């Protein structure tokens, strides 16, 4: 398998499907709760801002050594979008991942199921190291990372701790 494949990643309850500009309206509602941005930063984006972002993502990374993989999380039983998973791959066989589940769907194991499947799919595609950066107070995201086989490292970036599938050299907080 190649991580550039565009097909869905499917779990028991979810499909991780490539983001399309047409997802912007539904995703604006999913990501619209200001409380969701406590740890991820920023503020909710409106439909137009999400359309612009998804259009940029569709063009791909301007760096030829980097691949952007952006998926929406669709709840299979309802067909509704509930969040996103992302990976920035490269340079080399390294991916930085992130996940966000709308507040209305939190506490149901969706982030865990999506992240576990996403990390497994990336690993099967030849990615050797997978990293996530998590705010130390975001215990829910830390639990998701742990379920996805990432462990905390001693490396910090902008107040967030790196979690990784491999250990790395420490950097100052």
Tens digits of residue pLDDT in 15-49? 999 999 999 999 999 999 999 988 888 899 999 99
pLDDT above 90: residue 80: yes
CB 88 within 8 A of CB 96: yes
Integer Cα distance of 168 and 158 in angstroms: 17
CB 80 within 8 A of CB 93: no
pLDDT value of position 167 = 55
Per the prediction, the chain carries an average pLDDT of 92
**Residue 129: partners with Cβ closer than 8 Å, 6 or more residues away:** 93, 94, 95, 164, 165, 166
pTM score:
0.91
Integer Cα distance of 112 and 27 in angstroms: 19
Tens digits of residue pLDDT in 105-156? 999 999 999 999 999 999 999 999 999 999 999 999 999 999 999 999 999 9
**C-alpha pair distances (Å), 91 with each of 33, 44, 95, 108, 143:** 34, 30, 9, 34, 27
């Amino acid at each position: 398998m190649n991580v550039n494949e565009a097909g869905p990643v499917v779990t028991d309850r979810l499909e991780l499907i490539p983001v399309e500009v047409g997802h912007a309206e539904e995703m604006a509602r999913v990501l619209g709760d200001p409380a969701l941005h406590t740890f991820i930063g920023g503020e909710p984006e409106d439909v137009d801002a999400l359309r612009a972002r998804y259009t940029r993502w569709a063009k791909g990374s301007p760096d030829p050594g980097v691949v952007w993989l952006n998926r929406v999380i669709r709840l299979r039983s309802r067909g509704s979008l509930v969040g996103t998973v992302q990976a920035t791959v490269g340079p080399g066989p390294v991916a930085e991942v992130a996940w966000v589940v709308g507040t209305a769907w939190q506490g149901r194991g969706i982030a865990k199921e999506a992240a576990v499947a996403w990390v497994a799919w990336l690993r099967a595609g030849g990615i050797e190291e997978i990293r996530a950066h998590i705010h130390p107070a975001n215990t829910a995201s830390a639990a998701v990372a742990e379920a996805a086989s990432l462990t905390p490292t001693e490396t910090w970036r902008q107040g967030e701790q790196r979690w990784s599938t491999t250990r790395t050299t420490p950097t100052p907080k």
